[in-house]
Amino acid sequence: MGYDTSDGRSEGQNQPQGEHQNTAPEEHGASKNDQPGTSSNVPHALEELPWNLQLINGSHPLPSDFVPPELVDIPGGSHTIDSRVYDHLMAMLDAADKAGTPPAVCSAYRTYDYQRQLFESRVERCKREKGLEGEGAENEAAFWVARPGTSEHQAGLAVDLIDQNYTELDKAQESTPTQKWLMEHCAEYGFILRYPTSKSAITGIGYEPWHYRFVGVKFASAITNSGLCFEEWLERYLAGS
């Protein structure tokens, strides 16, 4: 059994029984009721996708009043995350810790209003530093900070993790021991690196070698092995190919 999806073409045939992998975080205490994507029907439209595969991007925003059904505190800071993701995140953080590369959580759930503040301050920075105005400044800002409503952080399904010894949110983050470990192992815990550098034209977001999105163990492996970004993979998945 297993997710034999290394060629990236067989995800559409993934059936729920593939969910229980030897490396799945259930071993670490995740509730089986929270195991995502266990519907017996493969969905054919974005609206039919389970919560863990919900697409959130510039074309598919969340309502401004959307809040995750239940948020829980991540220990050691002021961040919260969707309760269905919590055990998976903690298992990943524990494993990274044991590997000697403990990540720092620098962002997790964000409210719509907080995302709006982040976006507006980025717009101001674009105006100041690049001499842009109006829509030009907003479009430039949106490549680096998601517009309010379009951030996976508002869904409580994403977390920004950084190396404790290198805390800059820039490209060099990818070369830190922590990011190397996370990129190699995040799929085992149900996470994908959501904005790979080669896919910016499709995701609409600049390279973020710190932003990890929860999709569930089965799908994370399938998506990672496919070499596709989430948008591309979903398109194929929904087409059943």
In the complex, which residues of this chain contact Zn ion (CB under 5 A)?
A: 160, 211
Q: Which CB atom, from 26 or from 160, has the smaller least distance to Zn ion?
A: 160
Given 26, 208, 232, 235, which residue is catalytic?
208
Q: How far apart (Å, rounded) are the C-alpha atoms in residues 213 and 158?
A: 4
Residue (of 234, 214, 231) closest to 34 by Cα position = 214
Q: Which is nearer to Zn ion, 211 or 218 (CB)?
A: 211
Beta bridge partners of 57: 60
Shortest Å, Cβ 227 to Zn ion: 21
Q: d(Cα 76, Cα 71) in Å, to the nearest integer?
A: 15
| Nearest C-alpha neighbor of 145 from the set 175, 176, 124 | 124
User: What's the closest the beta carbon of residue 16 comes to Zn ion, in angstroms?
Assistant: 29
Residue 200 backbone phi and psi in degrees, to 5: -60, -35
Query: Going by C-beta distance under 8 Å and a sequence separation of 6 or more, which residues neighbour residue 227?
Result: 8
Which residues have CB under 8 Å from 128's CB, separation 6+? none
Nearer to Zn ion (CB atom), residue 4 or residue 170 = 170
Backbone φ and ψ for 82, nearest 5 degrees, come out as: -55, 130
Q: Least Å distance between CB 87 and Zn ion?
A: 20
Supply 27's token pair: 């071993």
Question: Of the two residues 118 and 238, which places its CB atom closer to Zn ion in the complex?
Answer: 118
Q: How far is the CB of 100 from Zn ion (least distance, A)?
A: 24
Q: Is the torsion defined by CA of 201, 53, 119, 106 positive or negative? A: negative
140 given a catalytic annotation: no
Shortest Cβ contact with Zn ion: which residue? 211
**CB-nearer residue toward Zn ion: 1 or 172:** 172
Q: Any idea which residues carry the catalytic annotation? A: 208
